[in-house]
Amino acid sequence: MPRLSRATRACREFEAEIDNLLELEGHIPKLGADLWAGKQWKVGWYVTMISISAYSAWERLVEKLLFACLSTNTCAFASSLDLSLPTRVSVDLSEALLTSRSGYLDFRGTSELIGATRKWLSPNPFDKMTQMQKKVVDDLRVIRNAVVHGSRKADRDMKKRFGPRATTVSVLMRQTAGQTTLRKYLADLKQLSTTLSSP
C-alpha cells in the first residue's frame, strides 16, 4: 500500500475528528428530551462547544495543509518574497517560514486565507473551495468569535451575518430538511476535506 502524503493524512485526521463531532451531535435529541430536559442552557452549551471544536479542527487542518504543501514546492512562496529557496524543504522549515513573524497563522475569513495561499502555494488546494464551503467556514468563524470573544464587534458580526435576533444556539439548532444547521455544517466540513485532498 502506498504511503499517504502529509496533506492526505491531515485530511483523514480532520475527517475522523468531524466524525466524532457528528456522533456527539447525534446525542442532542436524547439529551434535550431526557437527561437535560428542562435545562436547555446545557443543550445550548453542548451544541456551541461542538461548533467551536469543529472550527478549531478546521484551523489545525489549514496549518497542516499549508506546511505540507509548502514543503513540497516553495517556488511561489520564494517568488512572492524574492527569496532563494530549494524547491523542497522540510515541514519544520516550511512552518518556520510561514510563522516566523507572529509564531502562528491567523486568517480573518476564507477570502484572506485564499488570498494569502495564492501567493504562497502552487498548486493551491484552497482554490478548490466552493462558495458554499467558504460560507460554512465563515459562518463557523463568526459563531466561534461570538462565543469566545463576546465583544461588541463579534456581536455585531453575528447579527449582521445571521439577523438581529440570532443567537449562536438558535442558528446552530435551526432545522433544515430534518437536520440541524450544526449537523449540516459538520457534514459540509467533511466534504470540504475531501475536496481539498482530491488531486
Helices 40-72 and 181-197 meet at what angle, rounded to 10? 10
% of the chain residues with pLDDT over 90: 82
100 pLDDT tier (thresholds 50, 70, 90) = confident
Tell whether 1 is covered by a domain: no
d(CA 52, CA 34): 24
Domain region containing 71: 6-197
In a domain, 70, yes or no: yes
CA distance 64 to 125: 12
Read off the pTM: 0.94
3-class DSSP assignment, residue 26:
coil
What is the rounded CA–CA span in Å between residue 186 and residue 197?
A: 17
Rg of the chain over Cα atoms, rounded to whole angstroms, equals: 19
Does residue 39 belong to any structural domain of this protein? Answer: yes
Each residue's pLDDT tens digit, 28-53: 988 888 878 888 899 999 999 999 99
Query: Residue 128: in which H helix or E strand, if any?
Result: none
Task: Name the domain count of the chain.
Answer: 1
Q: Is residue 49 part of a domain?
A: yes
Structural domain contains residue 75? yes
d(CA 148, CA 178): 29
Domain-located, residue 115: yes
**Structural domain contains residue 17:** yes
Burial class (CB in 10 A: 0-12, 13-18, 19+), 163: exposed
Helix or strand (DSSP H, E) at 179: strand 179-180
DSSP-assigned beta bridge partners for residue 180: 175
For 152-193, what is each residue's pLDDT tens digit? 999 999 999 999 999 999 999 999 888 999 999 999 999 999
Contact yes or no for 87/70 (Cβ under 8 A): no
Find the helix or strand (DSSP H, E) in which 127 lies: none
List beta partners, residue 175: 180
Residue 152 lies in a domain: yes
Dihedral sign computed on CA atoms, order 3, 12, 196, 149: negative
pLDDT > 70: percent of the chain: 97
